[in-house]
């Protein structure tokens, strides 16, 4: 089950955190992974680890908010592999603040990466999927697309857009055998979270990490690997009847 042999999977933000975990799990299950990241060195580290474990992967630099870079990156994938079976739109950035605490620059920056990035990458991948008779797009949304979370105004705006883009792509391309779903994680403990907490809550890291853990009724944050396992299911043939859905992975948050 969950065999991805023969499939080409592009993972944006594949250099760390959830993207790195998804790239690794997909490669373990037989996919040829293309890890794209703004930080090409980070993507190369992911690829090196995959190859060391016996998997097949390539790395590439890509700013998902830049149309020319996205076009170039996806054209390179098509030239090399002649197909794109799976796209995971994972690249994203965070922001803390109410609407009053969100500058226009913050708003535009979040929109460019989290919304425009999903748009550009999906638009670039879809023609190949249509030509080859099918494919899968998986977007990383967030629990904030489904429930209000304090001080996440701009971030919530972007993830709500990811949720509705998911539904639109799913309905527009269902007859072309292209599925599109999104995952909505609650707090997931990644190096990004540690760096974010250290930068914004210096001296209070332990306290803030504990608060983030306690937000989930299970009393802990999720792991990148847990999200990656759900991504594997949704991108595999075992999920062939699933499209247009938002899957929470939230430690019980929506049960509160």
pLDDT, tens digit only, all 256 positions of the chain: 999 999 999 999 999 999 999 999 999 999 999 999 999 999 999 999 999 999 999 999 999 999 999 999 999 999 999 999 999 999 999 999 999 999 999 999 999 999 999 999 999 999 999 999 999 999 999 999 999 999 999 999 999 999 999 999 999 999 999 999 999 999 999 988 999 899 889 999 999 999 999 999 999 999 999 999 999 999 999 999 999 999 999 999 999 8
At 125 the pLDDT is: 98
Q: Give per-residue burial for 165-194: e unless 16+ CB within 10 Å, then b.
A: bbbebbeebeeeebbbbbbbbbbbbbebbe
Q: Does domain 8-187+223-255 have CATH number 3.90.660.10?
A: no
Write down the pTM of the prediction. Answer: 0.96
DSSP characters over 10-66: EEETTTSHHHHHHHHHHHHTT-EEEEEESSHHHHHHHHHHHHHTT-EEEEEE--TT-
At 81 the pLDDT is: 97
At 49 the pLDDT is: 98
At 196 the pLDDT is: 86
At 192 the pLDDT is: 87
Q: Which residues are catalytic?
A: 155
At 27 the pLDDT is: 98
């Amino acid at each position: 089950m969950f065999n991805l042999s023969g499939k080409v999977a592009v993972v944006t933000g594949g250099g760390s955190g959830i993207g790195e975990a998804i790239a690794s799990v997909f490669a373990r299950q037989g996919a040829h992974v293309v890890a794209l990241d703004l930080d090409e060195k980070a993507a190369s580290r992911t690829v090196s680890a995959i190859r060391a474990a016996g998997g097949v992967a390539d790395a590439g630099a890509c700013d998902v908010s830049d149309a020319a870079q996205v076009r170039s990156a996806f054209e390179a994938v098509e030239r090399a592999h002649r197909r794109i079976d799976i796209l995971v739109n994972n690249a994203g950035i965070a922001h803390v603040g109410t609407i009053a605490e969100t500058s226009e620059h913050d708003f535009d920056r979040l929109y460019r990466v989290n919304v425009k990035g999903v748009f550009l990458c999906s638009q670039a991948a879809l023609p190949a999927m249509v030509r080859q008779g099918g494919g899968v797009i998986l977007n990383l949304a967030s629990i904030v697309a489904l429930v209000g979370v304090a001080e996440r105004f701009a971030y919530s705006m972007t993830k709500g857009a990811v949720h509705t883009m998911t539904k639109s792509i799913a309905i527009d391309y269902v007859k072309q055998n292209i599925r599109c779903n999104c995952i909505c994680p609650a707090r997931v403990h990644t190096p990004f979270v540690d760096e974010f907490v250290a930068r914004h809550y210096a001296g209070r890291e332990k306290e803030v990490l504990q608060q983030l853990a306690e937000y989930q009724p299970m009393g802990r944050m999720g792991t990148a690997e847990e999200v990656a396992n759900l991504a594997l299911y949704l991108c595999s043939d075992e999920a062939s009847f699933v499209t247009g859905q938002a899957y929470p992975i939230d430690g019980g948050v929506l049960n509160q």
